[in-house]
Amino acid sequence: MLLLDIGNTNVKCYDGKSIERISLEGYKFPKEDFYFINVNPTLETKLESLSQAKDLSKIFRFDTEYQGMGIDRIAACYSIEEGIVVDAGSAITVDVIYQNKHQGGFIMPGFSAYKDSFANISSKLIYDLEKEITLDTLPLNTADALLYTTLKSTVLMIQDCAKDMPVYVTGGDGKRLCKYLKKSIYDEVLVFKGMQKAIDEKEKTC
């Protein structure tokens, strides 16, 4: 079974074993059957025309009062019964699930967005996102100060929300973020687990 998570610039393909990330530029959709979620409005018509493309967006039985929640966030949340779901990508989304119900969530800039925003203020405000620092002591140079702000502001927001609940992290910067988050679990295939769960539930009702 092939699952596709289609974004604005890339598509992530999962065959049950590994994830392949492919640029959408020039991408040709598989000829065999595949299931997908899609956040790219420019591809809606194309996907509707493909008989082999199975849209999962309408089959999630997701309990929430949140308005306008993206299908990728829904899929990630759908994979757990209780905890905090963090998707650390271009933006960082944080959602709270309690007893299988979505309680709400919030959105923060991603790490690269933080870095770009500082650079827009001054060409001197540059730093290495990959450098290892401690968040327990105050920085003593500008580069570390910028990185400290990027990491600690994100971590504190998530920890304040999480309390004692487990934190499930996915996304491109997920591994990096997990190093600073207590009770965190990195899961590269969290979104695909949610997609698979929705498919399994649908098949049981058929």
**H/E run at residue 85:** strand 83-88
To the query of whether residue 95 is one of the catalytic residues in this protein, the response is no
Alpha helices by DSSP H, the chain:
44-48, 71-78, 111-121, 142-162, 174-178, 190-205
- Kindly tell me the burial class for residue 145, based on how many C-beta atoms sit within 10 Å of its own C-beta (0-12, 13-18, 19 or more): middle
Amino acid occupying residue 109: P
Q: Residues 5, 72, 95, 173: which is the catalytic one?
A: 72
Q: Where are the alpha helices (DSSP H) in 8-70?
A: 44-48
DSSP conformation class of 42: G
Active site residues: 72
